[in-house]
Structure 1
Amino acid sequence: MTCTARRFFELLEPICLVTFLADECNEELAALGHRTYWDGYFASRAAPLGLVPAQVVHAAFYSFAEGEAARHIPSAWETIPPEASFAARERGSAASLRRILGDELACSPGLVRAADLTTRAATSAPTEGRVMYAGMRAMPVPSDPVARLWHSATMLREHRADGHVAALVGARIGGTEAHVLSALAQGVHPPESFGRIHHLPKERLAAVMAGLRERGLVGPDGRFTDAGRETQHRIEALTDELAAPPYDALSPAERDELVAELEPITAELVAAGSR
């Protein structure tokens, strides 16, 4: 099932990425009154948690630097209710999918079947220890197939992310450190130039790199040591393992069917860069 979880991550991730890369979601959030991309991001992604303080959002999201959530939460909710931000996120994401996929795919029986199977998987896993996933599970599942496919893919993404956080915590890898390891795994060098952390203060990045060197995970050249590479592989393997339970709800034949239905959808999105 670990291989199954990795395969479904590869197939479903391009569906989720329209939220962050395509224009429609940001336009919907801006129309509500969110001033910046990040206001909309924090307000809409954290919305299923309810009106929680920034410390809770920071803990649940895990990978953002200290203070980043507090720049947007709770101020982004002061005049815009969380449920309105979430609805705009879902509405914009579904619109992006319809545009990219076109009528032939968006209205196809295959997409409807993919949405049905993905929803069954996404609503079947235990919620214990899965804060973001549990929040998404509490949101109503849309009836429209395109919106339902996005919603369920995003549920599975948050389920996987909760497991990834658990794997990182178990390996004693902090949020910024996780970005460094991810950057190195993607071949980014120096890792401090990685897009998710390059804006952080140089002193903060230097301290993170020094800590990774002290633990023997990164060498003096700023690249993986053997121990660092093994740690990254172990975290990813555990993430895949922890992401597997939702797919137990599908029979082997249904899992094969879902792969077959998702493949043309994913191919179209990958070709467009989910934009």
Structure 2
Amino acid sequence: MTHTPRRMFELLEPICLVTFMSDECNEELAALGHRTYWDGYFASRAAPLGRVPAEVVHAAFYNFADGEAARHIPSAWATIPPEASVAARERGSAASLRRILGAELADSPGLVRAADLTTKAATSAPTNGRMMYAGMRSLPVPGDPVARLWHSATTLREHRGDGHIAALVVAGIGGIEAHVLSAIEMGIHPPESFGRIHHLPKQRLAAVMAGLRDRGLVDADGRFTDAGRATKERIEALTDELAAPPFDGLSPAELDELVAELEPIAARLVAAGSQ
């Protein structure tokens, strides 16, 4: 069961990453008037939830430190409607994909088919308990195939993310702790130097590391214990399991076809670093 969602994650994630790695999305958001990358990030990603308070965005995103969402929400929407931000994110991301893929892939029948099948998967799963996924599902599906592929891949990314948060909650792992475990898994040492958390106050990071050591998940040198590695593996296995429902909406033949159509797209994006 878990091999399908894991393989689909590998193929779809490079599509989603253009939003964060390429220039076009940030340029579109800056043109609206967002002053910083993070203003645009919070405003555009949270926009499908509506004008919710920072506390809700913090809960939905899960892995940001206390107060980080409040530095951008709701101020990022004060003069720029959420609808404008989410539309700019889509335009910029689709432009990045089109540039990186080139006409050979972007205008190919294979991409159209990949967009159609990805959309079928992305719109077939229950939304119960899936806050970010439900938000993406509330948006109209773009007609342009490149934009549709990005939109549906991102919808599936949020579905997987909602499940990953559930797996973290079950394991008793907080958002910053999750970044530490990911850093250790990636071989980043010390894990506190990981780019997603290195800016946090040293006292806060020290407290997180101390808590993981007290639970026997991390050793004195900041590396996995056996229990820590097993915990991380359980979280990832449950994340894969919870990410399966959208792909149950595709037949085995459609899944095989989707993999075949996505492979050259993903390969081109990975080679370019999605930027």
TM-score by length of 2: 1.00
Q: Letter of the 1:20 partner, please give it.
A: F
Tell me if 1:218 matches 2:218: yes
Superposed CA deviations along residues 134-174 of structure 1, whole A, max 9, x for unmatched, are: 00000000000000000000000000000000000000000
What's 1:121 paired with? 121
**How far 1:255 sits from its partner (Å)?**
0.2
Q: Give 3-state SS (helix, strand or coil) of 1:46's partner.
A: helix
What's 1:100 paired with? 100
1:136-175 correspondence to structure 2 within 5 Å: 136-175=136-175
Tell me if 1:253 matches 2:248: no
1:174-189 correspondence to structure 2 within 5 Å: 174-189=174-189
Gaps of 5+ in 1: none
Tell me if 1:198 matches 2:162: no
What's 2:10 paired with? 10
Q: Letter of the 1:65 partner, please give it.
A: A
Q: Give 3-state SS (helix, strand or coil) of 2:228's partner.
A: helix
**How far 1:125 sits from its partner (Å)?**
0.3
Alpha-carbon distance between aligned partners in 1 of 2:255 and 2:187, rounded to the nearest angstrom: 32
**How far 1:39 sits from its partner (Å)?**
0.1
**How far 1:128 sits from its partner (Å)?**
0.3
Alpha-carbon distance between aligned partners in 2 of 1:12 and 1:46, rounded to the nearest angstrom: 21
Tell me if 1:78 matches 2:78: yes
TM-score by length of 1: 1.00
Alpha-carbon distance between aligned partners in 2 of 1:182 and 1:269, rounded to the nearest angstrom: 23
Tell me if 1:43 matches 2:43: yes
Superposed CA deviations along residues 75-130 of structure 1, whole A, max 9, x for unmatched, are: 00000000000000000000000000000100000000000000000000000000
Runs (4+) off by over 6 Å: none
Q: Letter of the 1:6 partner, please give it.
A: R
Gaps of 5+ in 2: none
Q: What is the root-mean-square deviation of aligned Cα atoms in Å?
A: 0.3
Alpha-carbon distance between aligned partners in 1 of 2:14 and 2:53, rounded to the nearest angstrom: 30
Q: Letter of the 1:94 partner, please give it.
A: A
Alpha-carbon distance between aligned partners in 1 of 2:169 and 2:159, rounded to the nearest angstrom: 16
Q: Give 3-state SS (helix, strand or coil) of 1:128's partner.
A: coil
Alpha-carbon distance between aligned partners in 2 of 1:214 and 1:203, rounded to the nearest angstrom: 16
**How far 1:71 sits from its partner (Å)?**
0.2
Alpha-carbon distance between aligned partners in 2 of 1:258 and 1:170, rounded to the nearest angstrom: 32
Q: Give 3-state SS (helix, strand or coil) of 2:139's partner.
A: coil
Alpha-carbon distance between aligned partners in 2 of 1:128 and 1:50, rounded to the nearest angstrom: 18
What's 1:233 paired with? 233
**How far 1:213 sits from its partner (Å)?**
0.2
Alpha-carbon distance between aligned partners in 1 of 2:133 and 2:252, rounded to the nearest angstrom: 24
Alpha-carbon distance between aligned partners in 1 of 2:200 and 2:111, rounded to the nearest angstrom: 41
Q: Give 3-state SS (helix, strand or coil) of 1:179's partner.
A: helix
**How far 1:4 sits from its partner (Å)?**
0.2
Tell me if 1:62 matches 2:57: no
**Identity %, equivalent residues:** 85
Q: Letter of the 1:66 partner, please give it.
A: D
What's 1:27 paired with? 27
Q: Give 3-state SS (helix, strand or coil) of 2:87's partner.
A: helix
Alpha-carbon distance between aligned partners in 1 of 2:65 and 2:193, rounded to the nearest angstrom: 15
**How far 1:226 sits from its partner (Å)?**
0.2
